Amino acid sequence: MTDKDLRRDVLDELDFDPSLDAADIGVAVADGVVTLTGHVGSYAEKVEAERAVRRVKGVRAIAQEIRVRRPDAKKIEDDQIAARALAIIDWSVHLPKGDIQVKVAQGWVTLTGKVPWQYQAMGAEAAVRKLSGVVGVSNVIAIRPEVQPAAVKEKILEAFKRGAVFEADGIKVSVEGDKVTLDGAVAAWAEREAAERAAWSVPGVRFVEDRIVALI
């Protein structure tokens, strides 16, 4: 596939995605590396644009340079964003109340605290990035280890074997303390992401280094 063909596929995928307005997004492609520029109206759209590009076959890497542009007439103060972020976290039944703290500076949200599971940290980020006025999110929520590191590798391999998306045989898992390293090769990027999600789903894991190579 040529860079010209890949750029066309990326533009088509961005236009096809109903959750974002791609009118002001620019796309450049060089040797399979996609650079996104321009601006969108919300941080959630910025994240969705990158996800859309990742779905396109042939994309090797992404340079994310999209900016979130807020009309001055609709500017929301930091204290309002913080209050709404705390409220949406409290309303979420899967998030532990009181364990996540929120700081907002010029529309940029920083999440701190400690939770038992990685999906809770990611869920908090997913919830607040949809709020009006948010221009970015830094997720530094820590994961409280709840299992012994020796059991992590076994749990990850079990999750791999249950998954129907990819085969576990081509992936090597190594564990050092609370860090998991994934090596090997899979057929597509989607399988690489599935393997990484499986690693993050294990309680006690705080770091995942994904060295898996996607062949396509």
Are 199 and 182 a contacting pair, CB within 8 Å? Answer: yes
pLDDT tens digits in sequence order for the chain, 216 residues long = 798 899 999 999 998 888 888 888 999 999 989 999 988 888 888 888 998 999 998 898 999 888 887 655 467 888 888 999 999 888 887 888 788 999 998 888 999 998 888 888 989 998 898 888 888 899 999 887 655 555 666 666 776 677 655 566 677 888 887 788 888 887 777 778 878 888 887 777 778 898 888 776
- What token pair was written down for 48? 């969705």
The structure's pTM equals: 0.53
DSSP 20: S
The Cα–Cα gap between 80 and 213 comes to: 43
Domains assigned to the chain = 3-68 (3.30.1340.30), 72-143 (3.30.1340.30), 149-214 (3.30.1340.30)
